[in-house]
Amino acid sequence: MASNTITSSSHATRIYDVFVSFRGETRNNFTGFLFEALRRKGIHAFKDDKDINKGESIAPELLQAIEGSRLFIVVFSKCYASSTWCLRELAHICNCIRTSPRRVLPIFYEVNPSEVRKQGGYYQEAFAQHKEKFREDKKKMEEVKTWREALAQVANLSGCDIQNKPQYAEIEEIVQEITNVLGPKYLCLPKDNLVGMESRLQQLAGVLCLGLTNVVRVVGICGMSGIGKTTLGRALYERISHQYDFRCYIEDVSKTYRDSSALGVQKQLLSHLPSEKNLEVYNVADGTCLLWTRLRRARALIIFDNVEQVGQLKIFTGSRDTLLRECLGEGSRIIIISRDQQILRTHGVDDVYQVRALNDEDALNLFCNNAFKTNYVIRDYDLLTREVLSHAQGHPLAIEVLASSLFGRNVLQWRSALARLRETTSKNIMDVLRISFDGLEDSEKEMFLDIACFYSLSLVQVLEEFSEFRGYYPKYGLQVLIDKSLITVTCDGDILMHKLLRNLGKFIVREKSPNEPWKWTRIWDYEDLCKLMSDDKTMENLEIVGIEYSRTDNQRIMRIESLSKMSRLKMFILRGIYLPKFPGVLGRLENLTNELGYLIWPAYPFESLPTRFEPDKIVQLYLPFSNIKQLWEGTKVV
């Protein structure tokens, strides 16, 4: 039974992927084209350049290259055997495959394979010349015998006969064969980025159902910004792409679409087809026809990264189902990477893989790799490391950015950096996280900020009630936030938001006037409330005050009449703050805005609510353990 498990390469670490033994006569034609094709595929091949001096013995750098290669290619041409240099390379290759089994791929270029195997024709003439040249040197004659044995051994292996065949097509097949032999390898991902990757790859393999080779499957990869979606997609591509007839990774679909519409995305796909590099396509219909013709029944792996709108996936005329049924071959896989699950659902993916934060062990490994360049925490940095990881909460980008900024710094510098981190998160992290926020509509932005700033609004029921009071559409808006991986909701109705996203929300509220809280729309910190209520400032922007059990040892003056200036206030929560304890409290509560819907103030210090307060919009009034004797004077309509 086919397996969904992705296996990693078991090859030992070597200097080169491929060593090519060839005669100089093919350097500027077939072998030159082969090297270029290998380079395009990211295959590291040793090239015997002209500047290597050739003498009686093989140069040390050549011996090292042969011994340090994973696979060997021998290009047998008409004059190959006339070169003692080539024959010595060949003999050394045979020694290597005897001591550590490796694959040798013989290629017969403009020479009959039987002529090489039987050592007739040009090869017979070449060995006759070697025999004549070394006939009086017994040691050299033994070497000639070794050459003959090596030639017979390699020429009798299964190889490629490219006589009278198009070179480009044969080279494509040869490169594919080499890729299959070498197996998967990470071509461009730094090792540090791969912490925790194996478990994610195995989980993704299960979602992709790689073991089912008779179906075409479309799968989405989703998750919050910076969580590692692209790294996972690239790692998967580099691990399994060699198994497919056609493979293409489009790195930034959104940018390509903005720059050149659907046609630009089509052209990227076409550029991965053999011999279609300079193809001119002028409209999507023609591009669709060409792709369907070229991909007909091909087993394909296509990854679309950073898809921001459903329309960016409409790169084919005709229906998606027709494309899958009539164009791509069995076993094909299409992967769409997006921050928005709704895009994936609308497109009709078969399943979605949600990228989660790193577990504690992987988070620690990633941090150590970047902060200490080791796999362990350096002495005296244990507690500091724990605090950084608590802040990052398994977010790979945050861990890498913070760890890199701390690398090489002493303990005092770490403490200073962490003190600053408690106040504000790195701009590099915020810029990445903010992409999802900027894509929200205004009402969803407001709901996001409410959740980020106030734990009181982290229950679905409470948030929905408050959002409806404010005129939003919470059932729809909550789902949007879930789809964009900005929140998750538990089965108990708790709204969970990553600590970094909470910091982002607070950063957005403060960013235009970081030291002027009277200009903010929300206040969640007691110190800021003290500052706000000790200055004679207008507060026409403020909509929510939500202080939850803050420290109460601050002796700053608080002008309680400042509450009367909060003309747009919708919610006021003051839990854990007992104003009578503060000798600095000045004035009495003269008024509250009639816009107020929620007043939650345990131990309310006054005997009644303000006379002028008209509570016609009040939704929740909660004043336990207060000094109140009557709500207000006279009769109010509520």
Average pLDDT, the chain: 85
Q: What is the pLDDT of residue 399?
A: 94
Largest CA distance in the chain: 129
Least confident of 108-117, 158-167, 356-365, 460-469: 158-167
pLDDT in tens, 548-607: 865 554 545 567 778 888 899 999 998 876 554 444 444 678 889 999 999 998 888 888
Q: What is the pLDDT of residue 549?
A: 65
Least confident of 444-453, 488-497, 602-611: 602-611
In the chain, what is the straight-line distance between the N-terminal and C-terminal CA atoms, in Å? 70
Domain edge (last residue) among 488, 511, 534: 511
Catalytic residue among 25, 36, 89, 540: 89
String of b and e for 423-437 (b: at least 16 CB within 10 Å)? Answer: eebbeebbebbbebb
Least confident of 84-88, 141-145, 313-317, 399-403: 313-317
In a domain, 607, yes or no: yes
Does 397 lie in the same domain as 485? no
Does 348 lie in the same domain as 366? no
Which of 213 and 191 is assigned the larger pLDDT? 213
Answer for the pair 625, 576: CB distance below 8 angstroms, yes or no: no
Angle 483-487-493 (CA atoms, 0-180°, nearest 5)?
105
Instruction: Tell me the CATH number at 269.
Output: 3.40.50.300
How many domains are contained in the chain?
5
> Which one, of 474, 486, 412, 487, lies nearest residue 443 by Cα?
474
Q: Hey, CA dihedral for 582, 583, 585, 588, is it positive or negative?
A: positive
Q: What is the pLDDT of residue 306?
A: 94
Does 234 lie in the same domain as 304? yes
Q: What is the pLDDT of residue 427?
A: 85
In a domain, 8, yes or no: no
Q: What is the pLDDT of residue 318?
A: 57
pLDDT in tens, 378-394: 999 999 999 999 999 99
Domain edge (last residue) among 306, 332, 354: 354
Does 379 lie in the same domain as 275? no
For the residues 338-367, what does the mean pLDDT come to? 94
Running DSSP on this structure, what letter comes out for residue 5? P
Q: Hey, CA dihedral for 338, 253, 39, 274, is it positive or negative?
A: positive
Q: Does residue 50 surpass a pLDDT of 60?
A: no
Highest mean pLDDT among 13-17, 230-234, 268-272: 230-234
Query: Which tokens go with 293?
Result: 């013709």
What is the rounded (10 degree) CA torsion for 81, 87, 90, 94?
110
Distance in angstroms (rounded) separating the CA atoms of residues 324 and 129: 61
In a domain, 348, yes or no: yes
Does 282 lie in the same domain as 227? yes
Does 458 lie in the same domain as 416? no
Q: What is the pLDDT of residue 52?
A: 47
In a domain, 3, yes or no: no
Q: What is the pLDDT of residue 167?
A: 83
Q: What is the pLDDT of residue 123?
A: 93
Does 593 lie in the same domain as 606? yes
Contacts by 119-126, CB closer than 8 A, 24 or more apart: 119/81, 119/148, 119/151, 119/152, 122/78, 122/79, 122/81, 122/82, 123/80, 123/81, 123/151, 125/82, 126/79, 126/81, 126/82
Does 557 lie in the same domain as 411? no
Indicate the pTM of the whole model.
0.72
For the residues 507-535, what does the mean pLDDT come to? 88
Q: What is the pLDDT of residue 12?
A: 38
Distance in angstroms (rounded) separating the CA atoms of residues 31 and 526: 73
The crossing angle, in degrees rounded to 10, of helices 197-208 and 229-240 is 70
Q: What is the pLDDT of residue 13?
A: 42
> What 3-state DSSP class applies to 619?
coil
Q: What is the pLDDT of residue 2?
A: 54
| Percentage of the chain exceeding pLDDT 70 | 87
User: Which residues touch 152 (CB under 8 Å, ≥6 apart)?
Assistant: 117, 119
Q: Does residue 57 surpass a pLDDT of 90?
A: no
Q: What is the pLDDT of residue 573?
A: 92
In a domain, 476, yes or no: yes
Residues, the chain, total? 638
For the residues 505-531, what does the mean pLDDT come to? 90
Q: What is the pLDDT of residue 533?
A: 80
Q: What is the pLDDT of residue 53?
A: 47
Q: What is the pLDDT of residue 284?
A: 82
Q: Does residue 523 surpass a pLDDT of 50?
A: yes
Q: Does residue 435 surpass a pLDDT of 80?
A: yes
In a domain, 492, yes or no: yes
Angle 71-76-77 (CA atoms, 0-180°, nearest 5)?
145
For the residues 450-458, what does the mean pLDDT come to? 93
In a domain, 254, yes or no: yes
Q: Does residue 36 surpass a pLDDT of 50?
A: yes
Determine what percent of the chain falls in helix, strand and coil, rounding each to the nearest 5: 45, 10, 40
CB count in 10 Å sphere of residue 279? 13
Say if strands 571-575 and 544-548 run parallel, antiparallel, or are unpaired: parallel
Does 222 lie in the same domain as 208? yes
Residue with tokens 């093919």: 26
Q: Which residues lie across from 547 on neighbouring strands?
A: 574
String of b and e for 397-407 (b: at least 16 CB within 10 Å)? Answer: bbbbbbbebbe
For the residues 430-434, what does the mean pLDDT come to? 91
Q: Does residue 417 surpass a pLDDT of 70?
A: yes
89 part of the active site = yes
For the residues 169-179, what does the mean pLDDT come to? 85
Q: What is the pLDDT of residue 9?
A: 42
Does 433 lie in the same domain as 408? no
Residue with tokens 């941090």: 367
Q: What is the pLDDT of residue 226?
A: 92
What range defines the domain where residue 69 resides? 16-182
Domain edge (last residue) among 328, 354, 380: 354
Distance in angstroms (rounded) separating the CA atoms of residues 501 and 224: 9
Instruction: Tell me the CATH number at 96.
Output: 3.40.50.10140
Say if strands 495-496 and 488-489 run parallel, antiparallel, or are unpaired: antiparallel
Q: What is the pLDDT of residue 293?
A: 78
Does 440 lie in the same domain as 413? no
Q: What is the pLDDT of residue 155?
A: 92
Q: Return the CA Rg of the chain.
A: 35
> Which one, of 324, 327, 339, 310, lies nearest residue 484 by Cα?
339
Q: Does residue 322 surpass a pLDDT of 70?
A: no
pLDDT band per the 50, 70, 90 thresholds, residue 136: confident
Q: Residue by residue, what is the 3-state secondary structure of 114-158?
A: HHHHCCCCHHHHHHHHHHHHCCCCHHHHHHHHHHHHHHHHHHCCC
In a domain, 107, yes or no: yes
Does 344 lie in the same domain as 206? yes
Instruction: Tell me the CATH number at 497.
Output: 1.10.10
Q: What is the pLDDT of residue 551?
A: 55
CB count in 10 Å sphere of residue 172? 14
Distance in angstroms (rounded) separating the CA atoms of residues 239 and 619: 57
Distance in angstroms (rounded) separating the CA atoms of residues 457 and 465: 10
